């Protein structure tokens, strides 16, 4: 397929859409800030990885050889995101009387399960922070003389030693500083720890020796070290949620400037990555997204309520990644219906043909519009509508149509060619009735209706309703029944 649209991405550093120019011809190297594995990710967190996945898939679609790295923060992230408070992992380990390593392992696996369920492609490397501690110490040593100072609590980065500190955040300095906890002796409120010393008399489960005493690396340090080591400075694109635009990424950038001995951010590559991209938040009014709220919105909760996880992926794609997206169960239900329609169209086609090698001239204008949409700063809402237009085309070759759908789905990642419509039924975990029993009762009801015995038919319907099965007569999607509601 010929795709002639230049890829334009919005660079948070310049606050401008910019044509993507790879650092290495034909390649795209992308780093995504990953999870801190002291708890389950909520679905808002997963929006950040759906976005990074669509970016990666778009780069692949456009022919770039993609190297994607996502890190796993299994150390050194404090409870208040600034430079004070307890280490989240140490805290979780204490509360649950478990080893910190077991906690990290458990939540890393839970995160990977969500990644898989959302059809997010595995990156070239999951970089695990604790495996890079010697590199972090070496990095810190190389910048310590010129850019850092030591306090009893750790080694701090002096933000006045680099040009344009905080350019990415665009915040008034005092606003940025207001959110950072006061630490005795810091030269500037925005200075941050790159090594945190274990307090006198304490022993942590995770600590390492360093030139600044036993302790743990600061959170910002790990991303600078792993991105630089695995992708090489400068690399192409660094991604994360919009909250990272305020503190974490400006701090990473300052470290990268110090390490690369480069200065002003008028040359974008001096920040370590040429393009910095941020997804906006998924918001939820009742506060269930917060991990401290007990039962919070994690992907498993959606699955337990009977929603296929890819309905959530589609919900994410319906919004542009730079727009806020409000979560609601109705919205998720609507996304599930949209997904069902697409799957049913594909199922009907597959009964007639297999995808052919190329989709042919009939589909070229659609694929062109699709490529234009995705090339325009990943406009997935428009991409989805083009996909639906193709799915609705009549009197076209089934094999070619399947090929066109497959080409678009390679970017959107809805797994349309593999999904079975029965998998998309609402099927809450709490439901106690077996599907075979539902089908048998429905068959009896069909017979009763055929015999015009409407009393019997209604009784069977009520019997099912009492057990949580909603019978959907005349359902245009032909689903016949669903569990729950
Ligand atoms: P964390 O594990 O807290 O470091 O977050 C993992 C990723 O999720 C980061 O890129 C965050 O910026 C992002 N993130 C956090 N909350 C949300 C949200 N509500 N919506 C979208 N992304 C989020
Ligand atoms: Zn990071």
What pLDDT sits at residue 362? Answer: 94
Contact (CB, 8 A) for 161 and 147: yes
What pLDDT sits at residue 177? Answer: 46
**193 CA to centre of ligand 2 in angstroms:** 15
What pLDDT sits at residue 470? Answer: 80
Instruction: Write out pLDDT tens, residues 319-360.
Output: 999 999 999 999 999 999 999 999 999 999 999 999 899 888
| Closest approach atom of ligand 1 to CA 283 | 19
Burial class of residue 152, CB neighbours in 10 A (0-12, 13-18, 19+): exposed
- Does the global pTM surpass 0.85? yes
Instruction: Write out pLDDT tens, residues 242-258.
Output: 999 999 999 999 999 99
Which residues approach ligand 1 with their CB closer than 6 A? 33, 35-36, 44-45, 47-48, 240-241, 243-244, 279, 281-282, 289
What pLDDT sits at residue 402? Answer: 96
Give dist(CA 104, CA 92) in Å, integer: 10
Which segments in the chain show pLDDT lower than 50? 79-81, 83, 174-178, 485
Contact (CB, 8 A) for 402 and 417: yes
**Shortest-distance Cα residue to atom 23 of ligand 1:** 45
What pLDDT sits at residue 342? Answer: 97
Our measurement of the distance from residue 317's CA atom to the centroid of its chain's CA atoms, rounded to an integer in Å, reads: 11
Q: Which residue has the tokens 């990977």?
A: 112
**226 CA to centre of ligand 2 in angstroms:** 9
Contact (CB, 8 A) for 273 and 31: yes
Instruction: Write out pLDDT tens, residues 160-219.
Output: 999 999 999 986 554 444 456 678 899 999 999 999 999 888 888 889 999 999 999 998
**Shortest-distance Cα residue to atom 11 of ligand 1:** 241
Q: Is the peptide bond before 234 cis (omega within 30 degrees of 0)?
A: yes
């Amino acid at each position: 397929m010929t795709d002639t649209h230049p890829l334009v991405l919005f660079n948070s550093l310049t606050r401008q859409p910019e044509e993507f120019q790879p650092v290495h011809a034909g390649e795209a190297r992308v780093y995504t800030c990953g999870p801190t594995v002291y708890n389950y990710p909520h679905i808002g967190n997963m929006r950040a990885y759906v976005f990074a996945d669509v970016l990666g898939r778009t780069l692949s679609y456009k022919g770039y050889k993609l190297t994607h790295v996502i890190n796993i923060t299994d150390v050194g992230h404090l409870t208040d995101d600034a430079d004070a408070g307890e280490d989240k992992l140490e805290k979780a380990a204490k509360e649950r009387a478990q080893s910190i390593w077991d906690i990290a392992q458990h939540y890393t696996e839970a995160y990977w399960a969500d990644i898989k369920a959302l059809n997010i492609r595995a990156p070239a490397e999951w970089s695990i922070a604790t495996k890079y501690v010697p590199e972090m110490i070496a990095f810190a040593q190389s910048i310590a003389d010129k850019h850092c100072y030591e306090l009893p609590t750790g080694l701090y980065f002096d933000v006045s030693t680099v040009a344009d500190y905080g350019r990415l955040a665009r915040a008034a300095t005092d606003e940025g500083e207001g959110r950072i906890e006061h630490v005795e002796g810091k030269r500037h409120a925005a200075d941050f720890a790159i090594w945190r010393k274990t307090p006198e008399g304490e022993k942590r489960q995770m600590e390492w020796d360093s030139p600044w005493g036993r302790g743990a690396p600061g959170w910002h340090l790990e991303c600078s070290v792993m991105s630089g080591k695995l992708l090489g400075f400068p690399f192409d694109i660094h991604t994360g949620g919009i909250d990272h635009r305020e503190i974490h990424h400006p701090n990473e950038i300052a470290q990268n400037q110090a390490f690369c001995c480069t200065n002003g951010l008028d040359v974008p590559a001096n920040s370590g990555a040429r393009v910095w991209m941020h997804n906006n938040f998924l918001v939820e009014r009742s506060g269930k997204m917060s991990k401290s709220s007990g039962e919070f919105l994690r992907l498993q909760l959606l699955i337990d309520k009977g929603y296929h996880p890819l309905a959530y992926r589609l919900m994410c794609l319906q919004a542009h990644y730079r727009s806020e997206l409000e979560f609601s169960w109705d919205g998720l239900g609507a996304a599930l219906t949209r997904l069902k329609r697409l799957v049913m169209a594909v199922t009907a086609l597959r009964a007639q043909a297999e995808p052919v090698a190329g989709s042919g001239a009939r589909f070229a204008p659609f694929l062109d519009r699709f490529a234009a949409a995705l090339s325009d700063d990943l406009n997935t809402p428009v991409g989805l509508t083009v996909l639906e237009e193709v799915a609705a085309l009549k009197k076209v070759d089934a094999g070619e149509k399947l090929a066109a759908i497959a080409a678009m789905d390679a970017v959107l990642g809805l797994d349309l060619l593999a999904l079975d419509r029965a998998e998309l039924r609402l099927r809450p975990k709490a439901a106690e009735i077996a599907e075979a029993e539902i089908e048998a009762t429905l068959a009896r009801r069909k017979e009763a209706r055929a015999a015009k015995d409407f009393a019997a038919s209604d009784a069977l319907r009520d019997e099912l309703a009492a057990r949580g099965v909603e019978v959907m007569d005349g359902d245009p999607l032909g689903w016949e029944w669903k569990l729950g509601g």
